Structure 1
Amino acid sequence: MTLEEKRAWIRLFAAVISYAVYLVVVLGRVDGRALPDVPYATVLLWTVGAGIAGAIVAEIVLGALRPGASRAKDVRDREIGHRGDHIGQSFVVIGGVAAMLMAMAGWHQFWIANVIYLCFVLSAVLGNIAKIGLYRGGFPQW
């Protein structure tokens, strides 16, 4: 398994785990209130930050455990990275358009923030799954 494939796995797990923690904490705070009335902003910011920091720390630990591993990216790594990012970016666009439409329709900021966060997570998940699939299943010549 290449270093870039390991990074894709780390980022995939970091995105899923941080979003799952966010959902558990926010849904645990409902306590009979309507969902938009639940305090969510601090939890959202902390889980995003923790997900990013966790992925960085995991990549550093991975590098420390395998100090002799090559960190060089070849053409295949760069192409897989670009294709995975392009595939994942579709959800960033979907989230941006959805948030814009929700704002124009006057939706509560809770829903707008959550659709953006969900789409960022889906972008990371889809993009990293695509990268892992390209590493595992071969690289098609498109």
Structure 2
Amino acid sequence: MSSEEKRAWIYVVVGVVVPVAYLTTVLSKVPGTDVARIAYVGPMLTAIGVGICASIVLAIMTAMASPQDAGQTDERDREINRRGEFVGFYVMSVAAIVPLVLAIAEVEHFWIAHALYLAFVLAALASAVVKIVAYRRG
């Protein structure tokens, strides 16, 4: 398994675990509560920071575990990365319509922020999954 494929797997794991933990924590407060009163900004920024840091730390640990593979990319890796980023861009472009519509409809900031957060998460997951599939199937 190449270092780039390992990195894609890290992004998938972190991209699922961190948002699920965050959304479970914050959305459990929604029933019976005015969403304007839910303190979500700090936890959301924490989740974003934890996701970024976890991805970096895990990528470094993976590179240290197999230093002979670290940083080595070839044409296939670059093509797979390009394809994954391409799909991620389109997923983000389509998913960003939801927060835009919510903003136009003047919905609570809570829902707009979470729709945008989910758009980023979906784009990152789509990109990583496309890369993994490309590595596995060619």
Percent identity, aligned pairs only, is 36
Q: Contact conserved, 2:22 with 2:43, CA < 8 A, in 1?
A: yes
1:6 aligns with 2:9: no
Q: Equivalent residue of 1:64, what SS?
A: helix
Q: Which residue of 2 aligns with 1:37?
A: 37
Q: Which residue of 1 aligns with 2:22?
A: 22
CA deviation vs aligned residue, 1:12-64 (integer Å, no higher than 9, x gap)? 11111110111121023347313443211111110011001000000011111
Q: Equivalent residue of 2:86, what SS?
A: helix
**Where in structure 1 do 4 or more consecutive aligned residues deviate above 4 Å?**
none
Quick one: distance in 1 between partners of 2:27 and 2:46? 16
1:47 maps to amino acid = A
* Structure 2, unaligned runs of 5 or more: none
* Structure 1, unaligned runs of 5 or more: none
How many equivalent residue pairs?
138
Q: Which residue of 2 aligns with 1:109?
A: 109
Q: Contact conserved, 1:36 with 1:111, CA < 8 A, in 2?
A: no
Q: Which residue of 2 aligns with 1:59?
A: 59
Q: Which residue of 1 aligns with 2:95?
A: 95
Q: Which residue of 2 aligns with 1:49?
A: 49
Cα 1:63–1:127 shift into 2, 3 Å: same
TM-score normalised by length of structure 2: 0.92
TM-score normalised by length of structure 1: 0.90
Matches within 5 A, 1:113-128: 113-128=113-128
Quick one: distance in 2 between partners of 1:31 and 1:112? 18
1:56 maps to amino acid = I
